[in-house]
Amino acid sequence: MTRSSTLLKPVDQTLLRGEVLARTRVTPHMLRVTVGGGELGDAFVPRGADQWFRLFVPRPGQDALHLPPGVDLKGYARYLTMPESRRPLLRNYTVRATRPGEVDIDLVAHGELHPGTVSAAGWAARCEVGSPVALLDEGTTFAADGTHDWTLVVAEESGLPAAAGVLAALPRDAHGLAFLEVPTREDVQPLDAPAGVEVRWLVRDDPHAVPGALALRTVTAATLPAGRPYAFVVGEQALPQGVRRHLVAQGVAKTDIAFCGYWKHGARPGR
Ligand SMILES: Cc1cc2nc3c(=O)[nH]c(=O)nc-3n(C[C@H](O)[C@H](O)[C@H](O)COP(=O)(O)OP(=O)(O)OC[C@H]3O[C@@H](n4cnc5c(N)ncnc54)[C@H](O)[C@@H]3O)c2cc1C
């Protein structure tokens, strides 16, 4: 995660172990892994909106999931010093949907995979039913309090699960605009949004373009509705940073903008 606005963390954080229940392809660039069972199936608390979590999965060749002893900073430090033969892969993801005992995770099947490295995208493409996982609930960043005139939602495909959750959580009489960038027309998904929220899909159609650049250009050139907005902006870090800067320059209060850099283009793969 790069920069973000305030996080609304759960009070009690516990690592919940479970397993893969199903793996499907939602659209050409989005894989869905359904997890549940064990502690995860019994104890996961759905919070709606952009609820996100830390996902622990085994690296290729690991037959068991060795979790850090705790979830505080000390536990994270212990995780970082685990030998790679034992250390699980740890990445951040969003709850796409829940059903009793089950959580859907939508993972972008991104192409920028470096030879010799491991990634959550690679795990999603090859995991099998019964593969072990663990989730650590991290809460939400969306914190609109109902006093705003309209809602702005902006994301590229890595933020599509969060955007979908935020749109579904809005009151049904909410007004607003959503700019959602996807790689191809086939990556557009049906979403549950209030009738008063206009969803504009932005299709990149250029495999070399940096995700989020089209959305940033479009939002900064758009005529936005009058009144006080609450903005939710996530994705490749230049997108939330750029949209936030633009909105603040237009007079939007920083506290009315929930934003999070989800990943960084050109960054070295995570550990
Ligand atoms: C709060 C939060 C919620 C998130 N929710 C989701 C979610 O629901 N679904 C989702 O798909 N992602 C989500 N992300 C983003 C995800 O954590 C990152 O994309 C992560 O880097 C993917 O890990 P990886 O192991 O596949 O790739 P890494 O090993 O981290 O990176 C490998 C290479 O791929 C590049 N890369 C990483 N992500 C992308 C991408 N999306 N497109 C193109 N290139 C990429 C990196 O720059 C790097 O060069 C979320 C991030 C945060 C902080």
- pLDDT (tens digit per residue) in 86-109: 999 999 999 999 999 999 999 999
How confident is the prediction for the chain on average, in pLDDT? 94
Domains of the chain, start order? 15-139 (2.40.30.10), 150-263 (3.40.50.80)
How far is C-alpha 249 from the geometric centre of its chain's CA atoms? Answer: 26
Q: Is the CB of residue 121 below 6 angstroms from any atom belonging to ligand 1?
A: yes
DSSP string, 65-96: ----S-SSHHHHHHHHHS-TTTPPEEEEEE--
Ligand 1 pocket: which of 166, 262, 264, 265 to mutate (most atoms within 8 A of CB):
262
Give tens-digit pLDDT for 178-230.
999 999 999 999 999 999 999 999 999 999 999 999 999 999 999 999 999 99
Q: Which residue has the tokens 């609304």?
A: 8
pLDDT at 3 over 70: no
Specify whether the CB–CB gap between 15 and 67 falls below 8 A: yes
Whether the pLDDT of residue 115 is over 80: the answer is: no
- pTM score: 0.96
65 CB within 6 A, ligand 1: no
pLDDT in tens, 18-40: 999 999 999 999 999 999 999 99
Residue 145's pLDDT is 93
